[in-house]
Amino acid sequence: MARKDDDRSVPPPPPAPLAVAVADSHTHLDMQSGTPAESLAKAAAVGVTTVVQVGCDVAGSRWAAELAAEFEQVHAAVALHPNEAPRIFLGDPDGWSGQQRPAGGGGALDAALAEIDALAALPQVRAVGETGLDYFRTGPEGVDIQQESFRRHIEIAKRHGKALVIHDRDAHEDVIRILLEEGAPERTVFHCYSGDAAMARICAEHGWYLSFAGPVTFKANQPLRDALLATPPERVLVETDAPFLTPHPYRGRPNAPYLIPVTLRSMAATLGLHEDELSKAVAQNTARAFGY
């Protein structure tokens, strides 16, 4: 019989609290166990006092906006995930929240984007995202749809003066190209940054923020730590992307905002900084990036 500590369904233990409070710049409380109030209290107990709740479809974006209206320590980001836009356009009823989709086509995508646009106008919505490109899960038939959706989200973010939160998977060159073609919003965040040090320097040249998640703690990911080292201190954020991407040594177990200190301490060790110094910078950077 496996020991309880070996059960991957068991949440990791709470880490020691941070002395300087920080924010989780990207989480999905709607996909985690327990109530949002419980998750927020557990995070606050270890010094994670602010979270950005991120929507991946219309229903999830509505939920994020409602949660941010209820809890002042929650800020919302609203969008159609890069994999969501092709689902809507192609009429696939299977989505992030499992709700019934419209019949598909340009009109359905227009209607969904109109709802995101309306949500983006709300004061508790601080960002448009996660949007961008994902060439890992979506095949060639969805590339043009993803790119059009990404361009539309960029326009929405700029028109409402909100931050842009980017999902970039196996699509680095196209993401940067489209950002430059459209003109990136003043505050642009690469969620769960996955590029190398050279790309980090390009992002720095344009003043974009890079948010690091659990993978930066994985032993095999030295190129990601090199990217962290190449990122200006004033552009570094930290996130969980919970319930995904749990940091080492808890990889494969449920992630949640209360585990931010694990990732932040690993990042501080890579940077040769005291955790309090990195925490202070991350807190200031997140507030500046999301405008709160």
pLDDT tens profile 206-252: 999 999 999 999 999 999 999 999 999 999 999 999 999 999 999 99
Dist. CA 59–CA 288, nearest whole Å: 27
CB under 8 A, 24+ apart: contacts of 268-277: 270/216, 270/225, 270/228, 270/229, 271/228, 271/229, 271/233, 275/18, 275/19, 275/20, 276/18, 276/19, 276/20
At residue 92 the predicted structure's pLDDT band, cuts being 50, 70 and 90, is low
Strand partners, 258: none
CA distances from 17 to 84, 128, 134 (A): 36, 30, 35
Strand partners, 211: 237
pLDDT at 95 over 60: no
The pLDDT of residue 138:
82
pTM, rounded to two decimals = 0.93
Give the sheet arrangement for strand 22-27, strand by strand. Answer: 22-27, 48-54, 74-78, 125-134, 163-169, 188-190, 209-212, 236-238
CA atoms within a 13 Å half-sphere pointing along the CA-CB vector of 208: 25
Strand partners, 78: 128
At residue 6 the predicted structure's pLDDT band, cuts being 50, 70 and 90, is low
pLDDT at 100 over 70: no
Tell me the per-residue pLDDT of 45-55, one tens digit each, with 9 for 90 and over.
Answer: 999 999 999 99
Q: Are 270 and 216 in contact (CB under 8 A)?
A: yes
- Tell me if residue 139 falls in helix, strand or coil: coil
Tell me the per-residue pLDDT of 115-149, one tens digit each, with 9 for 90 and over.
Answer: 999 999 999 999 999 999 999 988 888 899 999 99
The pLDDT of residue 235:
98
Tell me the per-residue pLDDT of 152-178, one tens digit each, with 9 for 90 and over.
Answer: 999 999 999 999 999 999 999 999 999
What is the rounded average pLDDT for all residues in the chain?
Answer: 93
The pLDDT of residue 253:
97
Dihedral angle, C-alpha 193, 199, 200, 205, nearest 10 °? -130
- What CATH code is assigned to 20-290? 3.20.20.140
Residues present in the chain in total: 292
Q: Are 221 and 266 in contact (CB under 8 A)?
A: no
